[in-house]
Structure formats: C-alpha cells, structure tokens
Structure 1
Amino acid sequence: MSILPGQPGTGKDVVFDAVISDLSAALGLTDGVLIVLGQTKPKPEWVFQRGARWRVIELKAPSPLAAFGFVLWRLLTGKPATLSQTLFLSPGVVRRINRILSDAAVELTVFDTIRTFDEAIAPDRRRVVFLDDLFSERFAERAGQPRLRGEKVLGRYADAARFWSRLLSPAWAARTAMRVEARLCRLKERAVAKVASACVLLNENEQAELARRAGVSVHSYIPRLSAYAGGSASAGVDGKWLFVGALDYAPNAEAMIWFIDNVLPHYRRAGGLRPLRVIGRNCAPELASRLAVAGVEHVGFVEDLAKEYAGAAGVLIPIQSGSGVKIKALEAMSTGRWTVGTPRAYDGLGALPPNALSAEEPAAFARAMLDVETLDPAAEAETSSGWFEARFGPERLDRLRTIVADDGQVGA
C-alpha cells in the first residue's frame, strides 16, 4: 500500500496517523510506501514512527511555474484541477510518484484530500481518497467572511505558497480567488468521487451531500485517534472552563470572539464565576488584547493536554464555521468532561455521547454552562466511555475493510 499525505499540520498529524493505523490493522499491513508531498517543514513524529516499517519518501513542492502550468493545462483541457493543488503536483511530480509506485509494485494507493489526487496517478490500481472535508464548502464560506486577509487564502499552506500569497494580498482578490477555488473544488470533488475506487469523508452530512452531487456511493469514516481517552472517572470540581485550539486557524479565532462578545456577558450576568482558560498557539495581538480585556486567561502551547482536561470543569467548543468533523470536539468528549458546543461543533458526528451539550444562541449557551456547573463532573464519564467504545471499537475495522474491498463500493 502507498499513502500520499500532503504537508503535515496539527490536524494532519493526528488524523492521518490514525487513518494509517486503522488501515494497517484492518488490512494486516506491516509495511508500505509513505510519499510526503509538498514537504517544507520537519517531518512530524508520526512520520518518523512509520519510517521504522514504511519506506518514507519526501517530494518537495514543485516550482510555482510548473505547478500553475499543470493546473492551467488541465483546466483548458476540461480536466478537474484546483489552485491549491499547486502546492503538491506538477507533471514531474506525477511521473515521479508513478515510478515509485511501479517500482514498489503497489496495489492500493490512499490519497489525502483532493489536493494530492490526480487521475494520472496510479490509474491502474485501486485508489482510495480520504477527503477529510469538502474544501468547496470551506472556501465558499471563507469567501463570504467580511474580514479577509489575502495571505490566508490557502490557510496553513500559505507559507508554502508565497507565490499565491503575494499575488492575492488584496482582500478583494483573495475573495475572488476563494470563490473560484470553491467552484474548482466542487468540480474536482465530484470527479474524484466518480473515478476513485472509494471516496471517504469524516463528516456524515458532507458524505451525504457529495453522494448527492456525484450520484455515486461515498463513505463516511472517522478513525480512532490516539487522543481518544474513552472517558475519565476524575474531574476538576473547581476547575476552569477550557478551550483548546490553534488561534491562527480562523474558525478558532472566530469562535473565541463570538464567545467573549456574545456568551460571556450572559454567563456573568447570570452569576457565572468560573474563569475561562484558552490554550492555543499563534494568537494574534488583537485577539490577545480582546481576551485580556474580557478577563480570559490565554496560554500558548502546553506539553500535557491530558492534565489540562483532567483539571477542567468543562470544555467549550463555540465553533461558528469550518467544514469537516471538529477533532477538538471528539477529543474533548473522549475525556469524560462535560462539553458545551454549538451545533456546528458537533456537525457530522451523528448521535452524541451524554456528556455533550449543544446550544446555538448565546443565552442558551450560557445557561448550558451554568447547568453543567450544578452537575456531578464525573456523572457521565462512564457512559461516555461506553459511547466511544461502541463508536470506535474493533468493529469499525470491519467497515473499513468493506470500504477498501475489491468488490466495489458500498454505501456509508
């Protein structure tokens, strides 16, 4: 088997490592080829761990000219392509990948998102594409945001694509580019779903939407992350409310602004006294100032998140935007802490464990926080543990085997 992940990031390190682990367990794999595309940063720890049994090959990002020419040629010839795939693919990169796959006699190739997939890669082999989330929805939503920084058009990939960052610095150009990218992603997602042996999304609602658009079977699957603790019997009786998330990620910063502007006043007027501790690196000075003025404690990176969760009274997930499944929600619920989140925070997860409360309006969100403070912090830990074991137990591997089976697609 070969795996083609894109440039590593925090979510990538967690999710795609779990995908590889589940695939290895489901298929009985002991080795494979891990081709890391567009590499610009040191390899994350999970790549080093895989390297003990997997052949790890790093392919640097192609030149902007070669990559852009590749995308333009594909679009002019009526083939699907996206602007953000310029971070990874060019004709030379595609040829190199195919040589690697041929030399290794690979039978199954797994792609990480539509950015790493191209019809010319491994066309005669079984191909499974883990989409993570619908990028078309992500870019469309970002294009509609009133405040937009052009250098953030490609999100975390902007550092690896200075060509695009410089070109799209004006907000109006960035917004136009994201609308174009949303349309291109929508076309490529539909095309990928039709030509891949299996197409997989984390979010159940997005899986149903892509299946409707493409008219073919699409799967939903969430791997068991190493962070899933399956519940905790102890709890921080006098602990603080906790929020965890990188603050250079727009939906996390937006969530904090929404919370301090809209929920926190309701909570405090109703007598809520517990402080909020925000754990998140790369906080912009403007947001850091707003948190300080609101009396919210902010810390950057912490070594031991488990300790933070263990001491928390509950976890807040006031997410307002973003596509896919919110890993922070799964991680928080798995600890056995009570969680209070917006419906968007739990989107695509289906039935929730009993320790997860949902509220959309600010006043209702504040009331849910106050309700949690009157409950036994450990009351739902055992029940939530049972929920996670049922959702992420060994039976999930049977479903994964069905997804990658040679006898055709089976609906989610």
Structure 2
Amino acid sequence: MNPFPTDAGKKVVLAGLLEYFADRHGADSVHYIHVGQLESPFPTAVTTVARPRPSEAAWQILTRSATGRASLQESLLRSPRTGTEIRRALERIQPDVIVYDTLRMTQYAEETGATQQICYLDDLFSERYATMLRTAARHPEIDIAPLGNFAKFVPSPLRPIAGHRRGWQALLEVERRLVRRSEDHVPHRLDRALLISEPEALALRTRTGLGEDRIMAVPPLLREPGRRPRGPSDRPTYVFLGQLSLPHNDDGLRSFLTHVWPLILAAEPGALLRIIGRSPRDGVSTAAASFGDSITVEGFVPDLGEALGSATAMVNYLRFGSGIKLKVIEALGHGLPVVSTPIGAHGIDSGPASGLLVAEDPQEFADHLLALADRVRNSELSQAARTHFDRVYSRHAVMSRYDLAFADA
C-alpha cells in the first residue's frame, strides 16, 4: 500500500513508521518496497515490484484458498513473479530490519539475514470479520461492503460475489477461519507482531501463548495538532466527521439522525449538527434537510482545527467497523470531547478522565451530548482529552513506543 496521501488509518500508521525510521536512522537508511507502480513522490528510497496478474490471483484462489491452505487476502496478493522481485530487492538492499505490511506481505517472509523481521498486522482481521457477521445478523438492512479498500486487488469476475448478501457472508465465514490460522502462525515465524489496538494485541497474546515482547500494540504517529484556544460557540454545536461514502460512516450518520438527533432537538431546539466529510451517499442531504437549519452538510472543510475548536463535542455514532478511529484521536488532540458508541471507541481509553464518553443506547448518547453543552463540564472534559492525547498519542509518546517495538534494531 502507498502510504501517501495519508487519507486512511493504515496509511497514517505506515507513514508514521517511515517517519520514525527516518528520524532514528536517517532517510537514506530507509527503503520501501511497494507492490505495483507509484505515481506520487516518496520521502525515502523506493522499489516497485510487479503486482500479481488477475490470472495468477485466480489460480492462487483455486489452488490455495479453495483447498484451505491460505486466506483469500493472501492468495490475491501471491505470485511467484512478485516473490522473485521482492527477494531480489532484499538481496540488493541487505536490510537489518524488515517490516511487513499485514498478512498479505508476511507470506513473502523467509530467511533473509535481517536482524529483525516484524509484521504490522494492523487489526486482527479474524475479529473484524466476526464483528461484521454479528452485525449483519443483528441489522440485516446494513450495507457492510466487506471488500472495502481491498476491492482493487480482487479480480473483477469475482467481485459480484461480494455484492450478494449470502455470498459475502459465506466468504467472510471461511475467510475468518483461514485468516485466524495465519494470524496465530505469524508471531511464531517472525520476531515480532504489531497491532494498533492493545485489546487486540492482548487477544493475540492469549491465543498464541506469546508475551508482550513478541506481540505489541503501537499507536499511530499523527501530526501534532495546533494548540489554539478552544472556544465552543454559544449555540450547542456537534460535529460528525468522516468520509461519508464509507458504509460504516453512512450508516452511523443515518442512524444518528433517526434515533439520536430528534432527542437532542426535543431538549435543545437550538442545537446544530455540522456534517463534515466528502462524498455523501444518496439521501444524506435529503435526510439532513428534513431537520431544517439544525443541520449543515459541509463536505470538505479546509480548516478542520477551526471546526473542532468551536464545537461542543464530536459525534462518533458507529454501529459496525473495526480498528482505532483516527478522527477520535485527532479530536482528543484538539481538546474536543467525543461521544461514541462502544464500537467507535474500540482500542481507546474511555471515560470522563479520557475525554471520550461511551454510550450504549440512543438516549444515553443524547444525554452525554446535552450535558457537554454546560461550559464547566465541557472545559473539564476538554482538558482531559488533551491530557489523554499528550499521554498516549503525542509525538514523544508514540516515538517512545516505537523505540520499544524496534528495540533490537
């Protein structure tokens, strides 16, 4: 995956790892091997290798995934030609440390002579798929779109399967089992496995019997937010932030408008909801317009700091999804209190002392948002949010955590 531009969660982490190694060892000592061509400028040396052909991916699915030898995501990125080019690049570079980007690339790990071989697993995909299946069972109306950003690697003849509910549910169940087996195997093969979420790192340690020296959580390295003074507007103002074309954001927003926003307006008719994000799906603007001037749909906002600085709280109303939500961390860095569902707060410390409040149902969600309109309460949680960010997600905190993760480098 190309980490640039850093417009998705895993891209932020990969870019942060590049920045870390360049900071600690110099940019000239960092090399990136990318599957497929790169069009954007890159901050370190880079080698591109051939992406598997569709015919190769189809063959791997038939011979490996269909026989239970490998997950689909591994088969779709497996090719003898790709493996040969990666091996030649490593022979030329002679790295001391190799970091593999998720299971898909770890399948190319072998004896290389490197001091360390590490896999960045991102999330536990087996847990992600299990959550998707449970959510689909509870909410049959949700469009989960299981392929997500990985769709571009899937041969086009196979993509329609993921468009049918029974098809993708069956595929997800098979994939969950195959991915779990690979996840449990990787930490035994390599020197260390890294995840973004401590609860998932703990789950993998429990599953494999390995300790924290072998399986660790590493937070994302974000750009330090500007520390402009916060000035919530007199009108209670809430922000829903995210790329609105993504199914979990679209569903979360629609569900919030249906179940929570009417409760807010009943108690505080002057409240305002700012919906900020690109590419809203059909019907979002119509749904928002039904609430009159209590909602604005703003698309891309160039000065996000201003929007977060003048808001009362961030709304993170998600009914499905996985991994740590970077927008929550960004809000904490700006001192903006966040109200979230449990799924939206996954992997992040929550509670009043962290500036992140979690609600189990629509009424509790509305109550939290309304309580934050009190300036004293808002100021207390705003300070807690900034303290939380500084303790866990500031540059110093994250770089120190990376020093532990790569201590043997």
Match of 2:121 in 1: 131
Residue 273 (1) aligns with residue 270 (2): yes
Following superposition, the deviation at residue 255 of structure 1 comes to 1.4
Higher relative contact order (CA 8 A, sep 6+): 1
- Matches of 2:142 and 2:348, distance apart in 1: 29
Show the 5 A alignment for 1:9-408.
10-26=8-24, 30-38=28-36, 42-43=39-40, 48-50=41-43, 54-75=44-65, 79=69, 81-121=70-110, 123-125=112-114, 126-144=116-134, 145=136, 146-147=140-141, 152-161=145-154, 162-217=156-211, 218-226=215-223, 228-229=224-225, 232-238=228-234, 240-295=237-292, 296-350=295-349, 353-376=353-376, 377-391=378-392, 392-406=394-408
User: Which digits, 9 at most, give the CA deviation of each residue in 1:293-341, with x for residues without a partner?
Assistant: 3443223223332222123222111122222111111011111122212
CA RMSD of the aligned region, Å? 2.9
Give the aligned residue type for 1:375.
Answer: R
With 54-63 and 105-114 compared, the bigger mean Cα shift is at: 54-63
With 328-337 and 86-95 compared, the bigger mean Cα shift is at: 86-95
With 362-371 and 157-166 compared, the bigger mean Cα shift is at: 157-166
Q: Secondary structure at the match of 1:387?
A: helix
Contact 2:74 2:107 survives alignment (8 Å): no
With 275-284 and 296-305 compared, the bigger mean Cα shift is at: 296-305
Note closer, same or farther for the CA distance 1:26–1:208 as it changes in structure 2 (3 Å cut). farther
- Matches of 1:60 and 1:378, distance apart in 2: 53
Following superposition, the deviation at residue 383 of structure 1 comes to 4.5
User: Which digits, 9 at most, give the CA deviation of each residue in 1:343-395, with x for residues without a partner?
Assistant: 22222123565432222221111111111111245555445333322223535
- Matches of 2:89 and 2:247, distance apart in 1: 37
Q: Secondary structure at the match of 1:321?
A: coil
Contact 1:18 1:223 survives alignment (8 Å): yes
Following superposition, the deviation at residue 242 of structure 1 comes to 0.5
Identity %: 26
Contact 2:323 2:347 survives alignment (8 Å): yes
Give the aligned residue type for 1:305.
Answer: L
Q: Secondary structure at the match of 1:106?
A: coil
Give the aligned residue type for 2:17.
Answer: V
- Matches of 2:320 and 2:271, distance apart in 1: 26
Give the aligned residue type for 2:274.
Answer: R
Q: Secondary structure at the match of 1:254?
A: helix
- Matches of 1:42 and 1:103, distance apart in 2: 23
Give the aligned residue type for 1:384.
Answer: A
- Matches of 1:11 and 1:398, distance apart in 2: 20
TM-score (norm 1): 0.85
- Matches of 1:97 and 1:329, distance apart in 2: 36
- Matches of 2:108 and 2:68, distance apart in 1: 13
Q: Which runs of 5+ in 2 are unaligned?
A: none
Note closer, same or farther for the CA distance 1:21–1:8 as it changes in structure 2 (3 Å cut). closer
Q: Which runs of 5+ in 1 are unaligned?
A: 408-412
